[in-house]
Amino acid sequence: MTIPDSDFNRAAELREQINLHNYRYYVLDDPQVPDSEYDRLMRELQALEARYPSLITPESPTQRVGGQPLEGFGEVQHQVPMLSLDNAFTDQEMMEFDRRVRERLVATDVVHYVAEPKLDGLAISLRYENGVLVQAATRGDGSQGEDVTQNVRTIPSVPLRLMGDDWPAILEVRGEIYMPLEGFNQLNRQALAKGEKGFANPRNAAAGSLRQLDSRITAQRPLAMYCYGFGEISDGPLAETQSGSIRRLADWGLRVSPEMRVLEGVEGCLAYYSLIGERRATLDYEIDGVVFKVDSLKQQKQLGFVSRAPRWAIAQKFPAQEEMTRLLAIDIQVGRTGALTPVARLEPVTVAGVTVTNATLHNEDEIKRKDIRIGDTVIIRRAGDVIPQIVRTVPDRRPPDALLFQMPDHCPVCDSDVIRDESEAVARCSGGLFCPAQRREAIKHFASRRALDIEGLGDKLVDQLVTQELIKTPADLYRLALPVLEKLDRMGKRSAENLLKALEKSKQTTLGRFLFALGIREVGETTAHSLANHYGSLDALKLADAEALQLVPDVGPIVAEHVVAFFRQSHNLEVIQSLLDAGIHWPPIEIPDAASQTLTGKVFVITGTLSEPREAIKQRLVLRGAKVTGSVSKKTDYLVAGEEAGSKRTKAEALGITILNEAELNALLEQ
């Protein structure tokens, strides 16, 4: 259908007007027209697009809410990692941070910092290409997050198209999605009126709203966003300073904190921290501290990074909030490795906006050290996302019948003997794979991404399978059949078929992954691969004694004893044989001879896009005696860098670490 020029131009004009009104309303908080006029413009645009569907563009304000619900969230690889921040809890720690910054910069004068409140929400990354929002992803583990584009598009303060025309071709913006307190309270009032359970706090409400598979539900939630940082930028820095770069974002219609300030020296930071602390209760959103960043981007580059955090930024947290309540009971939880952990059951109390009913007690020694008794009045502390903990008791309020705690002699789940090594503070169930509590967690670990990576076998499904006694060991997973699976709650035939395919796919693995999946105590991912590469076969490893095992890198006497003890148990060997009989296999491993260990003692880090999988490169390096780690540090000898190497390359350059391309790596391996 041919679109008349008048209608074509009118649609473009309406889109521009509505986007401008959205910007003035949601970003500037300064609307130019009443709601009735805004609604009239929106209805006119909707009518035009209904008449001429080809007028609809992805960035049209009518397209914020998606159609059919998603089946799940896709994964997004962050081109520039989303780093975490180091924390300061006292003024002294802030002064130490400032001292370290000035010493590294060899600066005799004060450093300028940019500051803004630390929102208690959900970190997000927006990717704009040619000014259009094409992707939104959660932080995830910093390297990989979830694709929540469809939901983020529903947030009015997130522009679908940037204003102006001087933005870079690729612009990744980092920020925080949160729920304003007014919207949160209204949402909970509505839930209460419907007889539904409300959200515990605005952060949970924001996170839960953003992770809805149906974006139409997200669109009904009062979410907002402030932008505070950057990921990938195609044309380099936007300005010479952090604050200048953030102001550029505001020019393009992105919402930035009105509380952002540029401060002089640590004295300015402490004064700002005090001011925001006083105003905290008046803000329309929850914050848990203040973020300070070195303002100069040149100085940021000089300072670089340590581990997964920048040296040029810090979050000064507000003091942990504490409340008083009563300890009603102490229960015992049994973990995957059989560890018995005492958990305090508390009279419900609200701490920092969250209703707390449980708190960790760590172990029996900790309970004795704090003289905690059942029936005591206790002080509970909750700092940010940290698990609530009992700080101390209130002896003056101790009732006469308060009870001393005693660790049970038998496992509360399977009644097996409880043992405690002299060198450990933790008591453990001796039931191994026979204990239902350990069985459940052992199977979850076996199926996890870094173990056998059985896609679709989530925690709830494992709980069902174990509860219904359909599986008792990991080997039972490979005996599951379609008729049984499709009858489980929330499964269906398609999901069951997909799970069976994932189980079949998981049979092709590596010896290192298989050893890690077995859940041997103290044997993490790195140690499992070291054992695999050293012995080359499972049979050789099973026959090794503790003394021989300590010749393996990263294996000390404690780990060696745990490995020997694991393979000494007949029921463990039976489960392993059942797994092998089910078809689990791995490619043979070449056992290196001493002459080939040309890189012994050398530490490598691999980053960027390379012509072969990183796991294959890692295997070649390990066979030459090298150690491969995930982060750049002073101990790193070489960085193997492919295309788009990012922050690891920057850090390696700052530390003077040798950087190799693939050709140079191959030459080194062939020496």
Give the tokens for residue 371: 């003289």
**Phi, psi at 437, each rounded to 5°:** -65, -45
Q: What is the 3-state secondary structure (H, E, C) of 170-185?
A: EEEEEEEEECCHHHHH
Nearest to 228 by CA among 179, 177, 175, 276: 175
User: Is 489:464 a contact under the CB 8 Å cutoff?
Assistant: yes
118 in catalytic set: yes
Cα(337)–Cα(562) distance, rounded to whole angstroms? Answer: 11
CB-CB neighbours of 453 under 10 Å: 15
Residue 275 Cα to chain centre, angstroms: 31
Residues with Cβ within 8 Å of 335's Cβ and at least 6 positions away in sequence, in order, are: 341, 437, 438, 441
The position carrying tokens 């896709």 is 74
Annotate 230-243 with DSSP letters as a single string: EEEETTS-SSSBHH
| Residue of 118, 293, 444, 648 with catalytic role | 118
Cα(556)–Cα(563) distance, rounded to whole angstroms? Answer: 11
- Per 3-state DSSP, the chain is made up of helix, strand and coil in percentages (nearest 5) of 40, 20, 40
Cα(571)–Cα(552) distance, rounded to whole angstroms? Answer: 26
Which value, to the nearest 10 degrees, does the dihedral of the CA atoms of residues 658, 663, 669, 671 take?
-90
H or E element, residue 546: helix 546-549
Nearest to 148 by CA among 82, 80, 211, 229: 211
Cα(112)–Cα(537) distance, rounded to whole angstroms? Answer: 58
Q: What does the longest C-alpha to C-alpha distance in the chain come to?
A: 88
Nearest to 19 by CA among 162, 129, 127: 162
Give the tokens for residue 651: 């850090």
Give me the sheet containing 132-138, strands edge to edge.
Answer: 132-138, 122-129, 170-178, 224-233
H or E element, residue 288: strand 287-294
User: Is 356:388 a contact under the CB 8 Å cutoff?
Assistant: yes
Catalytic (active-site) positions = 118
